[in-house]
Every structure is written in C-alpha cells, then in structure tokens.
C-alpha cells in the first residue's frame, strides 16, 4: 500500500494561505437564469424530483430538490412519490434509484457518467473471484454496478462497512470490493483479515496524504475536515487510521456535522479533504468562514459530466432512462436493503 501511495502523481501544491480569497469567490457559472427557470418549469410539468450528489456543479446543486451523498440519495429516492426521478450523479447511483423505485421513471442526464471505482470490477471478475473462494461472503462498497451488487451478500457505505464486517461470522472468508483503501482501513480497525480487491478511484491520484500534511503545516490555524464519502476520500480514512495523517485538529464528519463544526468553531479557516464540489454548500451556508480544498485537483470528471443543459434535455425528452433487469434488481435489492438496515458507525450519511 505504501508503494502504491508513493507512485501516485504529484499535484501542484497551492497552499491555502495563497488561495483562500479566490477559493471563496462566487461560483463561475455561464448558465443563464432562463435555462434554470426552464428546468424548474419542466420539473413541475413532469412531476419530477431532482436528486443531486454533493460533488455536482454548483448550478445543479442549486436547482436540485435534494443534495446529499449516495446513501442519502438512495433514501431520498426510496421516499419520493414523484413520477420521474432525475439522478444528477453517476450511473451506479441511478441504477440504485431504479432498483429501489422500479415503477418510477429514472433518468440520468448523461449516461456516460460512470465511476472509475465501480468500473474496477465487473461481474465476470467477481464470479471468478468467488470461484477461487467458495463459501466466502462478499461485501461490496456502494460504488459498484447493479450486476456486481446482485452477486454480493452485503452492500456497504464507508460509514457502516466496519459494523457490517464485525457482524460477520468469524469462520467465513470475506471478499471485500472494489476499494482497496476502504478495505485496508476496515481490516485495520476491525482486525479482521479479508481478501481485498485492488480497485481505486481516479480522483485518488490528486489526493496525497503527505501533501495534505504539508498544507496543514503551512496553515496551522486551519482544521482539516474529512468527508468519508465516495472512493476519493477512503484513502484519507486509511491514512488517518495508519497515522500518516495527524489526528490532531482533523475530523471525519458528515456534511451536516462539517457545517455545525465550522459554525461553532472559533476557527475561521478549514481545509476540506474531499472532491471539490463539497465546498459549494459550505461556502453558501457559511460565507463568513474560509473553506479551501485540501487538494484542489480532487475533481471527479464523471460527476462534472452532468450540466444544466443536459438536465434540461433529460426532463424535456424523458431520456436517457435507466433500466435494470428485474432478476438483477431483485438480487441487488437484498444487498442494498442490508446496507440501509445497518447503522453507520462513521458519519457517511447526511
């Protein structure tokens, strides 16, 4: 693991002290108010709900009915009675919404909005892995395709992975996929040996614990806030439990807890370790505080494929629609329901 971390590319290191004023500047957005009005009108006409992930562009977050992490989005989808659900996120999130809401129309504004972590294992690879370990239990992070979930026993978030693994019988082998950082972290904190798939998220290439420590050293008055959502931050969980990231003045927090921490803190500056889309809400709600990305290069290009124009077109054309084969949906639902049942021991939910 150390070797793997060392060989990753080095992003430029704009220290917070030099970037905070520009980091808190108003969003640059070329979308016209007329386009956003059109989206709102189409939403009413279609009886639609717009769900947006925390990593979406500011304009998408602003026009959405709900903004949250992947677990929160699943829960919001499960609750809505809207005829149309538009998932502004990546494809596996739209699949999960369709599995939970089979009778509603689920749209994703760009069908190519994938996830490099989910794509690091396909169903044939998983079946071959299972054949090598007959009788093993399969624990899949939520960032997986519906077909992979259908072959898994448990679906987990970063928040409940530890609790799920602790609950499994000691005499069963465990196959943990696809995130090697989350797997290594869970192994460390539970002491449970697992077989871990060596998958990772491309955004990892921009988040390096050693560089984050350098930024912290240059900004000793700032707290480090880590949001344990999505594969781009599981490396931070791993580094913190390994001691590579100092735990002093660093906090693993959900979005809501990040907001209350910053609101109540006597500090005025915060480094945020997650995909940069998360900064929008923090800055909007607490304009008097300074938030900077712990790594400004941590941008998920798949999340940013969703644009207001594509969202407008999806609502207008009711396309692209997301479908999941009923048999796959039925089996994946078992693993997803288990994910929704186990309480988080880490704050991965809204």
* H/E stretch holding 125: helix 123-132
- When the beta carbons of 82 and 113 are compared against ligand SF4, the nearer one is 113
Burial of 318 (0-12, 13-18, 19+ CB in 10 A): middle
- Could you say which residues in the range 48-87 bind ligand SF4, by CB under 6 A? none
- When the beta carbons of 251 and 302 are compared against ligand SF4, the nearer one is 302
- When the beta carbons of 85 and 90 are compared against ligand SF4, the nearer one is 90
How many CA atoms are closer than 13 Å to the CA of 137, on its beta-carbon side? 19
Structure tokens that stand for 69 in this block? 């992490």
Q: Which stretch binds ligand SF4 (CB under 6 A): 57-65, 102-110, 198-206, 215-223?
A: 198-206
- When the beta carbons of 200 and 219 are compared against ligand SF4, the nearer one is 200
User: Quick one: which of 68, 72, 231, 277 contacts ligand SF4 (CB under 6 A)?
Assistant: 231
Q: How far, in Å, CA of 222 to CA of 270, rounded?
A: 5
User: Quick one: which of 201, 252, 258, 339 contacts ligand SF4 (CB under 6 A)?
Assistant: 201
In a 3-state reduction of DSSP, which class is residue 172? Answer: coil
Regarding 295 and contact with ligand SF4 (CB under 6 A), the answer is no
In a 3-state reduction of DSSP, which class is residue 63? Answer: helix
Peptide bond into 178 cis (omega under 30): yes
- When the beta carbons of 144 and 160 are compared against ligand SF4, the nearer one is 144
Nearest Cα residue to 180 out of 121, 223, 130, 226? 121
**CB neighbours of residue 165 within 10 Å:** 22
User: Quick one: which of 160, 302, 336, 339 contacts ligand SF4 (CB under 6 A)?
Assistant: 302
- When the beta carbons of 46 and 350 are compared against ligand SF4, the nearer one is 350
Q: Which stretch binds ligand SF4 (CB under 6 A): 20-28, 205-213, 263-271, 295-303?
A: 295-303
Q: How far, in Å, CA of 239 to CA of 251, rounded?
A: 13
Footprint on this chain of ligand SF4 (rule: CB under 6 A): 90, 115-117, 143, 201-203, 230-232, 275, 300, 302-303
């Amino acid at each position: 693991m150390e070797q793997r971390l060392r060989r990753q590319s080095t992003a430029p290191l704009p220290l917070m002290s030099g970037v905070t004023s520009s980091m808190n500047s108003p969003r640059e957005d070329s979308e016209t108010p007329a386009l956003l009005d059109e989206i709102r009108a189409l939403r009413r006409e279609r009886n639609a709900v717009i769900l947006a992930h925390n990593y979406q562009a500011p304009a998408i977050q602003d026009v959405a009915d709900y903004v949250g992490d992947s677990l929160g989005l699943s829960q919001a989808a499960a609750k809505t009675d809207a005829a149309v659900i538009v998932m502004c996120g990546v494809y596996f999130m739209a699949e999960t919404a369709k599995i939970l809401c089979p009778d509603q129309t689920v749209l994703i504004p760009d069908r190519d909005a994938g996830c490099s972590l989910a794509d690091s294992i396909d169903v044939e690879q998983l079946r071959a892995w299972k054949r090598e370990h007959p009788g093993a239990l399969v624990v899949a992070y939520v960032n997986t395709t519906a077909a992979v979930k259908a072959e898994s026993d448990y679906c987990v978030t970063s928040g409940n992975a530890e609790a799920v693994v602790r609950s499994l019988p000691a005499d069963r082998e465990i196959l943990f996929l696809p995130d090697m950082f989350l797997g290594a972290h869970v192994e460390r904190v539970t002491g449970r040996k697992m077989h871990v798939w060596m998958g990772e998220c491309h955004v990892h290439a921009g988040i390096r614990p050693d560089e984050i420590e350098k930024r912290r050293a240059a900004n000793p008055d700032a707290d480090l806030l880590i949001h344990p959502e999505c594969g781009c931050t599981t490396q931070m969980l791993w580094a913190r439990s390994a001691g590579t990231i100092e735990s002093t003045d660093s906090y693993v927090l959900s979005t809501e807890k990040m907001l209350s921490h910053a609101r109540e803190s006597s500090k005025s500056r915060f480094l945020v370790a997650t995909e940069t889309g998360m900064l929008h809400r923090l800055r909007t709600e607490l304009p008097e505080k300074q938030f900077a990305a712990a790594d400004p290069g941590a941008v998920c290009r798949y999340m940013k494929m969703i644009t207001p124009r594509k969202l407008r077109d999806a609502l207008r054309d009711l396309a692209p629609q997301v479908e999941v084969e009923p048999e796959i949906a039925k089996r994946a639902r078992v693993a997803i329901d288990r994910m929704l049942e186990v309480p988080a021991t880490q704050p991965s939910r809204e």
